């Protein structure tokens, strides 16, 4: 097929015809060179790009290649080039955005804009239109573009890799790439040819020289200072000219039959043109076209190819980002295991963590989606949820346990072991979510909670100590509220209504104003007034008088230390408090409702609302609940905790990602890590979907821990956390140990700090079988929620094959998918591979998740359901105080809140001395308290110590520091 083209740069009477070369039409002038029509070739390439994008979108609905350009100043030539690129993008189906900057922008301002686009994961290609104003260093600007988005190919990394023989560059510079594409499309064999490149710029000359060399041409690089340039040019089979001088190369310099690629674009005066100029190349076309076999015209030759290659690079970049986004490979760390297993801190200190920035990048996080706290910790910004909202969640695995001994069953260790097995050995995307430990038990009797042996979170010392200060923020917020309560009582007792009003709403330059939190209190009483001057004396009284009943205050101060002597204190003893003393006490920081709020908040706005509605007391009339917002402090609490709401990113010993976030008590609170940590983790390991909703790639897994036994942490995870988060778990892992099951079978008591009785060190199948009743009850409890169960047997060296087989037999008969021994403490992830496989199988089982109770049932009914179904009780018995609380909360409209039972973790019952599966008992409910901010009621089934005490020999005896190296030792 022949096509005729008008060539404005030819003489009017020139005759020409078209020859078909390969797939593209080229124009062959009689007695002249074949013209390489870059415009037509570029159009075909752009059409191919458009079709490629259409086909890709059919498989990946979220595939949207995006080119961003920054243009500085108002140069007309730059504006023309930008418009050409914008038009080409739109024709090809590539999203385009342009940022126009004032020509006087500072270099730092420009670089900040570049870095913002670097962080924008929706931008795949980024370029700054050159040239730039003289006050801006182009090299520094180019160096700040992310090499992975440098679709112009000008970044030193890309140029540098281009020059290395055995290195691949992410992007080839567009013009040199377009030149090679032209040669390819007209069927020119480059290998073995002699090529000459005239011009040595970083943009064209040098990259073309390198690309031709890589394609096995013998290349000479020349420039305007090269001696005997015409003679050298005469040797060229392929001539590329990019010297920037109009019609510099003459026809008699060119070897007959050579291929000439003219990159130059120069304007010269021409009175015959309406514009007064015409465009010519660096080669004198009129003479060169009579000698060469092929030649590119100006315009219409290399220029259109440059734009086409820019689009091609952008699409390649988008595909690369998509591939990385789908795969999200996390590189494992190698474990150097020792036998016998060293102490936890020695193991942790012997491993070199990967940079947390690298881990964040492996997870697919943009720089603006996390904030580094040193080299091993980072906070992740929860707006990442909005970016990933279309991604399907990974699978959620809840790790809980049987009723533990005081030594614990190793749930945290098992969580990390499973994570390491799935990620480092089974090549699955996986995330662990664990609570942040309190410093109370760390320095008290329990020790740290980073896992143990070769299944730990690292750095272990930072994990167990201050981390990023979240617990300190909770402490500060809690104590600010405590101070506000007593200060308000003091001021109300010592001032008139008028004095209080004048101080709460002071006149500043003759104007009074309500703060926003004050308007909330007015609204509470139905007072719809915004001007303090409009309040009546009765309304002022309601506004300023909280009239707190000191005996009703439920809000204690907190400290993150086990200090038994703060459990009950007297405050206000200084004479400045005018005799206003009262008894109060301290809780440990993680027992604060602020911590429970942190764990259950779904956003910053949600946390602000929850903190504000926390109830701290009632008024003296008993008809009004006093909240943090009534005290005017809700906003300040949120400010103190604004950073703590962001989950903390750390890693396992084998380099797998871990979120360490929130640490609410598992008895008076719900004992689970944060909703936001789970939600973000589920998205980060989740899968992209095609337009039909089919998964692209394998699903990932989130392994999240529930505190204490399944009767406490798991029950609260499902009935409280899942209601708030709307997350649906996929499987339950129930951790058990032979020694704990023997204890439930009637074995001797187990106490921290005391050697294990020999019963636990020798095989005893009879005792074990009897104790497995506790395991069976927990399996049955988990199955009531419609979920598959895997029993993880945390194996010790003293466990026998017969004991392990017995546990497996009893577990599977009780309805578990499997019961798998795991040696992750001694072997790391390698010791939990079979457990990991069993969990994967379980998550593929049919599950019909359901709650234990209808949230609309009465308070008493919900308590009774939990006691009977989870604990095996015959019923419940409410004290008179508990009955009064039921009546009060019903009147206040709190009947539709979930129940958070506060009971011992050492028994299925309320009595810690009743082991195994107690029968025939009634659960006494001595009191019911309200965590309105957290969003639950918590019945007290016994005396709950919210401030632990220190033992005779606390863990802090072993903790110390090497003053020369700064290394911590002695943490367990």
The CATH number given to whatever domain includes residue 825 is 3.40.50.300
pLDDT digits (tens, 9 = 90+) for 368-379: 899 999 999 999
Could you report the per-residue pLDDT of 656-710, keeping only the tens digit for each? Answer: 999 999 999 887 889 999 999 999 999 999 998 777 777 777 889 999 999 889 9
Domain assignment present for residue 312? The answer is no
List the single range of 14-28, 654-668, 809-823 with lowest mean pLDDT: 14-28
Instruction: Give residue-wise pLDDT tens across range 882-921.
Output: 999 999 999 999 999 999 999 999 999 999 999 999 999 9
Q: Is 658 contained in some domain?
A: yes
What is the per-residue pLDDT across 725-764, written as a single tens digit (0 to 9) for each? 999 999 999 999 999 999 999 999 888 768 888 888 999 9
pLDDT in tens, 522-544: 999 999 999 999 999 999 999 99
Considering the domain architecture, whether residues 701 and 824 belong to the same structural domain is answered as yes
C-alpha 436/C-alpha 160 separation (Å) is 45
Asked whether residue 622 falls in the same domain as residue 532, the answer is yes
The answer to whether 227 and 206 are in contact (CB under 8 A) is: no
User: In Å, how far from its chain's centre is CA 565?
Assistant: 41
Domain boundary residue among 615, 641, 667?
A: 641
Helix (H) or strand (E) run with residue 587 in it: strand 586-588
What are the respective helix, strand and coil percentages of the chain, to the nearest 5?
A: 40, 20, 45
**CA-to-CA dists, residue 26 to 21, 37, 280, angstroms:** 6, 6, 20
Contact 797, 825 (CB under 8 A): no
Which whole-number Å values give the CA distances from 354 to 334, 358, 660, in the listed order? 11, 7, 17
Q: Are residues 650 and 536 in the same domain?
A: no
Pairing of strands 95-101, 66-72: parallel
Same domain, 688 and 624: no
Q: How confident is the model at residue 879 (pLDDT cuts 50, 70, 90)?
A: very high
Do 623 and 571 share a structural domain?
A: yes
- The confidence score (pLDDT) of residue 336 equals 93
Q: Identify whether 969 is part of a domain.
A: no
- Residues 524 and 476 grouped into a single domain: yes
Report residue 49 as tokens.
Answer: 């790009």
29 located within any domain: no
CATH number at residue 889: 3.10.410.10
Per-residue model confidence as pLDDT tens digits over 487-520: 999 999 999 999 999 999 998 888 999 999 999 9
Judged against a pLDDT cut of 60, whether residue 23 lies above it is answered with no
Q: How far apart, in Å, are the Cα atoms of 295 and each of 37, 255, 283? A: 9, 13, 10
> pLDDT confidence of 248, banded at 50, 70, 90?
very high
> 27 pLDDT exceeds 70?
no
The confidence band for 29, taking pLDDT boundaries of 50, 70 and 90, is very low
In a domain, 99, yes or no: no
pLDDT digits (tens, 9 = 90+) for 72-100: 999 888 898 899 999 999 999 999 999 99
Residues 647 and 777 in one domain: yes
The reply to whether 443 falls in a domain is yes
pLDDT in tens, 167-226: 788 999 999 999 999 999 999 999 999 999 999 988 899 999 999 999 999 999 999 899
| φ, ψ (nearest 5 deg) of residue 223 | -155, -175
pLDDT digits (tens, 9 = 90+) for 817-862: 999 999 999 999 999 999 999 999 999 998 899 999 999 999 999 9
Residues with Cβ within 8 Å of 622's Cβ and at least 6 positions away in sequence, in order, are 549, 552
- For residue 563, give both structure tokens: 């200090």
Q: Is the pLDDT of residue 443 over 50?
A: yes
- pLDDT for position 447: 65
* Pair (475, 611) in one structural domain: yes
Q: Is the pLDDT of residue 619 over 70?
A: yes
Of the three residues 619, 641, 663, the one that is the final residue of a domain is: 641
DSSP character for 867? I
Mean pLDDT over residues 355-384, rounded? 95
Residue 519 has a pLDDT of: 94
% of residues, the chain, pLDDT over 70? 96
| Tokens coding 47 | 């059409």
Residue 619 lies in a domain: yes
Mean pLDDT of 459-478: 93
**Domain identity same for 456 and 489:** no
Please say whether the beta carbons of 477 and 640 come within 8 A: yes
Q: pLDDT at position 445, please?
A: 67
Considering its fold, how many domains does the chain have in total? 3
pLDDT of residue 821: 98
User: Which of 814, 844, 874 is at the close of a domain?
Assistant: 844
Q: What is the pLDDT of residue 408?
A: 80
Note the pLDDT of residue 943: 79
Residue ranges making up the domain that contains 772: 344-468+643-844
pTM confidence score:
0.88
The reported pLDDT for the residue numbered 856 is 96
Q: What is the CATH number of the domain that holds 596?
A: 3.30.1510.10
The percentage of residues in the chain with a pLDDT greater than 90, rounded to a whole number, is 78
User: Cβ contacts of residue 735 below 8 Å, gap of 6+?
Assistant: 399, 400, 401, 402, 409, 410, 411, 414, 791, 792, 794
Model confidence at 25, pLDDT cuts 50, 70, 90, reads: very low
Rounded to whole angstroms, the Cα distance separating 432 from 414 reads 11
Q: What is the pLDDT of residues 317-351, one digit of tens each?
A: 999 998 888 888 999 999 999 999 999 989 999 99
Domain identity same for 743 and 651: yes
Q: Name the pLDDT band for 18 (thresholds 50, 70, 90).
A: very low
222 inside domain: no
- CB-CB contact of 779 with 815 (8 Å): yes
CA 24 to chain centre: 49
371 shares its domain with 476? no
Average pLDDT rounded to a whole number, residues 805-819: 98
Q: Which helix (H) or strand (E) holds 294?
A: strand 294-295
Q: Do 632 and 518 form a contact (C-beta atoms < 8 A)? A: yes
Nearby residues of 651 by Cβ (< 8 Å), 6 or more positions away: 333, 353, 354, 356, 359, 376, 457, 458, 657, 658
752 and 819 share one domain: yes
What are the pLDDT digits (tens) for 778-787?
A: 999 999 999 9
Identify the residue whose tokens are 């008992």.
Answer: 921
Please give the positions annotated as active site: 85
Mean pLDDT in residue range 38-65:
92
pLDDT at residue number 31: 61
Q: Which pLDDT score is estimated for 771?
A: 96
């Amino acid at each position: 097929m022949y096509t005729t083209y008008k060539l404005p740069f030819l003489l009017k009477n020139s005759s020409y015809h078209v020859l078909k070369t390969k797939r593209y039409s080229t124009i062959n002038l009689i007695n002249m060179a074949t013209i390489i029509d870059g415009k037509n070739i570029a159009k075909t390439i752009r059409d191919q790009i458009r079709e490629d994008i259409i086909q890709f979108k059919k498989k990946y609905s979220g595939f949207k290649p995006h080119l961003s350009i920054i243009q500085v100043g108002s140069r007309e030539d730059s504006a023309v080039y930008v418009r050409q690129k914008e038009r080409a993008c739109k024709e090809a189906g590539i999203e385009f955005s342009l940022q126009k900057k004032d020509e006087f922008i500072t270099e730092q301002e420009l670089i900040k804009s570049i870095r913002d686009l670097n962080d924008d994961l929706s931008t795949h290609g980024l370029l700054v239109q050159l040239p730039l104003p003289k006050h801006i260093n182009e090299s520094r600007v180019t160096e700040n573009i992310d090499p992975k988005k440098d679709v112009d190919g000008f970044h030193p990394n890309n140029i540098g890799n281009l020059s290395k023989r055995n290195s691949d560059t992410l992007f080839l510079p567009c013009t040199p790439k377009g030149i090679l594409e032209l040669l390819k499309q007209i069927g020119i064999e480059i290998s073995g040819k002699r090529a000459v490149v005239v011009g040595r710029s970083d943009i064209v000359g040098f990259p073309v020289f390198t690309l031709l060399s890589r394609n096995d041409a013998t290349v000479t690089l020349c420039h305007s200072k090269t001696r005997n340039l015409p003679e050298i040019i005469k040797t060229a089979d392929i001539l590329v000219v990019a010297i920037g001088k109009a019609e510099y190369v003459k026809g008699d310099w060119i070897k007959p039959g050579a291929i000439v690629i003219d990159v130059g674009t120069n304007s010269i005066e021409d009175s015959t043109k309406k514009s007064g100029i015409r465009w010519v190349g660096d080669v004198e076309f009129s003479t060169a076209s009579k000698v060469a076999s092929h030649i590119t015209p100006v315009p219409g030759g290399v220029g259109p190819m440059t734009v086409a290659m820019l689009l091609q690079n952008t699409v390649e970049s988008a595909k690369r980002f998509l591939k990385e986004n789908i795969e999200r490979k996390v590189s494992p760390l190698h474990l150097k295991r020792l036998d016998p297993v060293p102490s936890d801190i020695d193991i942790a200190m012997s491993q070199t963590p990967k940079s947390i920035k690298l881990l964040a990048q492996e997870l697919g996080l943009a720089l603006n989606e996390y904030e580094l706290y040193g080299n091993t910790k980072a906070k992740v910004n929860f707006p990442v949820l909005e970016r990933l909202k279309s991604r399907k969640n990974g699978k959620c695995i809840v790790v809980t346990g049987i009723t533990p001994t005081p030594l614990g069953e190793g749930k945290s260790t098992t969580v990390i072991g499973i994570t390491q097995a799935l990620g480092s050995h089974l090549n699955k995307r996986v995330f662990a979510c664990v609570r942040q430990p309190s410093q109370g038990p760390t320095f008290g009797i329990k020790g740290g909670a980073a896992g143990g042996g070769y299944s730990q979170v690292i750095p272990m010392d930072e994990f167990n100590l201050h981390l990023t200060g979240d617990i300190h923020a909770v402490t500060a917020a809690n104590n600010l509220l405590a101070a506000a309560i007593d200060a308000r009582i003091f001021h109300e007792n010592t001032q008139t209504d008028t004095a209080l009003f004048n101080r709460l709403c002071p006149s500043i330059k003759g104007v009074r104003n309500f703060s926003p939190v004050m308007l909330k209190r007015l609204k509470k009483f139905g007072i719809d007034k915004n001007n303090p001057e409009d309040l009546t004396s009765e309304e002022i009284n309601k506004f300023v008088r909280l009239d707190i009943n000191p005996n009703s205050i439920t809000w204690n101060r907190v400290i993150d230390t086990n200090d038994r002597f703060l459990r009950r204190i007297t405050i206000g003893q200084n004479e400045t408090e005018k005799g206003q003393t009262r008894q109060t006490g301290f809780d440990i920081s993680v027992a604060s409702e602020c911590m429970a709020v942190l764990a259950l908040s779904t956003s910053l706005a949600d946390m602000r609302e929850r903190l504000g509605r926390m109830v701290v007391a009632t008024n003296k009339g008993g008809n009004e609940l006093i909240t943090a917002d009534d005290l005017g402090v809700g906003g300040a609490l949120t400010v103190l905790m604004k950073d703590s709401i962001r989950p903390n990113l750390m890693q396992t010993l084998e380099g797998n990602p871990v979120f360490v976030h929130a640490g609410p008590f598992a008895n008076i609170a719900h004992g689970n890590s944060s909703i936001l940590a789970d939600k973000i983790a589920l998205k980060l390991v989740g899968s992209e979907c095609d337009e039909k909703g089919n998964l692209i790639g394998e699903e990932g897994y989130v392994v999240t821990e529930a505190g204490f036994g399944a009767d406490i942490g798991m029950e609260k995870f499902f009935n409280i956390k899942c209601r708030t988060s709307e997350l649906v778990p996929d499987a339950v892992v129930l951790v058990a140990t032979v020694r704990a099951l023997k204890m439930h079978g009637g074995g001797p008591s187990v106490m921290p700090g005391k050697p294990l009785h020999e019963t636990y060190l020798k095989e005893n199948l009879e005792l074990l079988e009897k104790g497995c009743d506790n395991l069976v009850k927990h399996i049955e409890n988990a199955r009531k929620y419609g979920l598959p169960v895997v029993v993880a047997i945390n194996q010790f060296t003293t466990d026998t094959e017969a004991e392990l087989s017995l546990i497996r037999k009893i577990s599977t008969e009780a309805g578990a998918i499997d019961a798998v021994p795991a040696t992750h403490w001694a072997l790391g992830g390698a010791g939990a591979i079979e457990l990991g496989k069993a969990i994967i199988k379980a998550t593929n089982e049919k599950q019909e998740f359901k709650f234990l109770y209808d949230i609309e049932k009465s308070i008493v009914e919900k308590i009774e359901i939990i006691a009977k179904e989870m604990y095996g009780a015959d019923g419940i018995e409410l004290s008179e105080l508990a009955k009064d609380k039921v009546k009060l909360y019903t009147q206040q409209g709190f009947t539709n809140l979930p129940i958070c039972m506060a009971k011992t973790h050492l028994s299925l019952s309320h009595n810690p001395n009743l082991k195994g599966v107690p029968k025939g008992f009634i659960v006494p409910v001595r009191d019911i308290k309200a965590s309105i901010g957290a969003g639950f009621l918590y019945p007290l089934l016994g005396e709950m110590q919210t401030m632990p005490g220190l033992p005779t020999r606390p863990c802090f005896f072993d903790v110390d520091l090497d003053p020369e190296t700064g290394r911590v030792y002695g943490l367990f």
